[in-house]
Amino acid sequence: MLRQTLQQKQQLRLTPQQMLVQKLLALPVISLEQRIKEEIENNPALEEATENEPDNKEDSDIIESEVDGGSSDEFSNEDAIDFMEESDEYVPAYKTFSAVDTDFDRQENKPMAATVSLRDSLMFQIGVRNINEHQYMLADYIIGNIDDDGYLRRDLYSIANDISFLQNTNTDEKELHSILNIIQELDPAGIGARNLQECLILQLKRKEVKTDALDLALKIVTRTFDEFSKKNYEKIKEIFGINDAKLKTALAEIVKLNPKPGETYSEEGAAMTIVPDFSITTTTEGETLITLNSRISSRLKISSAYTEMSDKRTKKGKMEREAASFARHKMDSAKNFIDALKQRDETLLRVMQSIVLYQPDYFRDGDESRLKPMLLKNIATATGLDISTISRVVNSKYVQTDFDTFLLKNIFSESFRKESGEEVSVKNVKNLLREMIANEEKRNPMTDEALVDELKSKGYNIARRTVAKYREQLEIPVARLRKEI
């Protein structure tokens, strides 16, 4: 049985414009520039002003008034009737427009960056080896199982089974091992190793100049790898009957080795160029100036050709009206995008100004000990914005100052109350912990219990598990692994 009922409820819905602003807020400047370029490609009514074209505020006002007028002015009833009565056989050109077809010739001649992957490099090297077609196929399969770090983490038995079932080729572990030996002779040294110990051994054996230190290093990695990984240096000296000086020279040879030989071909291993979203400078008068990096967004404008096209809406021809309707739609979209960028810039500056006002001492000289505890809700209260908006602003945004360039979210931290009652930032506690470990006696590094006692003497009453947590967050190993000779 069907029944109709009425129900009232409140719902919070974001408009498409608000959703666009929220998405743009989360983008750092490099991603934003890419997003703007994509919008320019997809919307022909959106253009970037040339360098020789002056930025004219009056022009932008004219464009805004023209767009506002065009978007609110609809067809008259008479025009609508004429439009509906005309034949439907005509299809406007813009409905059949394909960006792929248009850009094909231009893409065909575009220069491409040449990159060589780890697999391509290894296959090229194996191709010049004196091996038959069957061995080449086996090498290809083994190389395909080498990960980005350069390790073969699958056992040869499983690989042999895969080749037998998938390639319908008979092979065994012994044959694959011989092929793996050939692969391990390729560059970079250490490639194809099945664990860290084998990787280091392969690199040490590849050294051209043989020395006593190198010979000892090979013995240490081969015979006492467990003691070496645990830094049990006393045991190593006892086994080989050597003194501290000889052990130190051997360890120096091991430290030079690359534990991840495949990383040289990895895009993740490439250096990342940081483009700051904010630039903060302090004048000689002590005034703090905040600049937002908006190189492209500040030069966007609406195409004059589309403005002229939208004026043809009063014509009687169907083609002109179709073109005018298309132009107005694209102009509305362009205006919304420009408005969203302006709102993004205003929000970013508003949040950054509140952060600088909250941390005036830190931004004056960059002394991290003067950082006050600061949470997202503190800036949300100061700006009147939602915490989620503040989170979108601070994540993945970089700030360039007179003393450093840093990730904005890194200066946010919880508070810690000292025994004296003073509230300090947790970041200060971590910096103190890092400094204590850096200045410790490396022959006898401080345990977590010793760090607790040292912090307590400085007025920081912190539990051992908290010290261990902070140490792990700082990526500092335990005392046993920090030991040096």
Helix (H) or strand (E) holding 102: helix 99-108
Instruction: Supply the pLDDT for residue 21.
Output: 87
* Average of per-residue pLDDT across 93-115: 40
Contacts of 39 (CB under 8 A, 6+ apart): 46, 337
* Average of per-residue pLDDT across 86-94: 40
CATH code linked to domain 415-482: 1.10.10.60
Instruction: Supply the pLDDT for residue 49.
Output: 75
Ranking 124-133, 278-287, 332-341 by mean pLDDT, the lowest is 278-287
Distances (CA, A) of 81 to 59, 379, 420: 36, 55, 82
Instruction: Supply the pLDDT for residue 314.
Output: 53
Quote the distance between the C-alpha of residue 338 and its chain's center: 26
- Rg from Cα positions in the chain: 33
Does residue 268 carry a pLDDT above 80?
no
Looking at this protein, which amino acid is placed at residue 186?
Answer: L
Ranking 77-86, 196-205, 386-395, 465-474 by mean pLDDT, the lowest is 77-86
* Average of per-residue pLDDT across 294-314: 73
Q: What are phi and psi of 343, to 5 degrees?
A: -65, -35
Nearest C-alpha neighbor of 171 from the set 137, 122, 194, 143: 137
pLDDT tens-digit profile of 344-379? 999 999 999 999 999 998 888 888 878 888 999 999
> Residue 380 — very low, low, confident or very high, per pLDDT cuts 50/70/90?
very high
Q: What are phi and psi of 279, to 5 degrees?
A: -125, 125
Q: State the average pLDDT for the chain.
A: 80
Two structure tokens written together for 371 = 């950082």
Taking the alpha carbons at both ends of the chain, their separation in whole angstroms is 85
Count of CB atoms situated within 10 Å of the CB of 196? 17
More confident residue, 11 or 44: 44
Which residue bears the tokens 């007028």?
69
Contact 313, 326 (CB under 8 A): no
Distances (CA, A) of 204 to 201, 216, 379, 455: 5, 10, 54, 42
Two structure tokens written together for 145 = 């199982």
Instruction: Supply the pLDDT for residue 10.
Output: 76
Looking at this protein, which amino acid is placed at residue 379?
Answer: I
Contacts of 340 (CB under 8 A, 6+ apart): 17, 20, 21, 24
Residue 64 burial (C-beta neighbours within 10 Å; 0-12, 13-18, 19+): middle
Does residue 271 carry a pLDDT above 60?
no
Contact 261, 150 (CB under 8 A): yes
Top mean pLDDT of 1-10, 67-76, 345-354 is at 345-354
Give yes or no for a cis peptide into 188 (omega within 30° of 0).
yes
> Residue 77 — very low, low, confident or very high, per pLDDT cuts 50/70/90?
very low
User: Beta strand 415-417 with 46-48: parallel, antiparallel or unpaired?
Assistant: unpaired
Name the residue ranges covered by the structural domains of the chain.
119-265, 415-482
Count of CB atoms situated within 10 Å of the CB of 358? 15
Does residue 300 carry a pLDDT above 90?
no
Does residue 168 carry a pLDDT above 90?
no
Instruction: Supply the pLDDT for residue 91.
Output: 41
Ranking 43-57, 314-328, 351-365, 457-471 by mean pLDDT, the lowest is 43-57
Does residue 212 carry a pLDDT above 80?
yes
Instruction: Supply the pLDDT for residue 106.
Output: 40
- d(CA 82, CA 92) in angstroms, rounded, equals 16
Ranking 179-183, 240-244, 267-271, 418-422 by mean pLDDT, the lowest is 267-271
Nearest C-alpha neighbor of 43 from the set 340, 301, 269: 301
Alpha-helix residue ranges (DSSP H) falling in 11-155: 16-25, 29-42, 57-72, 77-85, 99-108, 118-127, 133-144
> Residue 429 — very low, low, confident or very high, per pLDDT cuts 50/70/90?
confident
Distances (CA, A) of 395 to 392, 399, 406, 472: 6, 11, 12, 22
Helix (H) or strand (E) holding 81: helix 77-85
> Residue 230 — very low, low, confident or very high, per pLDDT cuts 50/70/90?
confident
Instruction: Supply the pLDDT for residue 221.
Output: 95
* Average of per-residue pLDDT across 104-130: 67
Contacts of 130 (CB under 8 A, 6+ apart): none
Instruction: Supply the pLDDT for residue 315.
Output: 53
- d(CA 303, CA 292) in angstroms, rounded, equals 25
Q: Which residues of 199-224 are buried (b: 16+ CB within 10 A; e: fewer)?
A: bbbbbbeebeeeeebbebbbbbbeeb
Does residue 62 carry a pLDDT above 90?
no
Give bridge partners of residue 301 from the DSSP assignment: 47
* Average of per-residue pLDDT across 166-171: 83
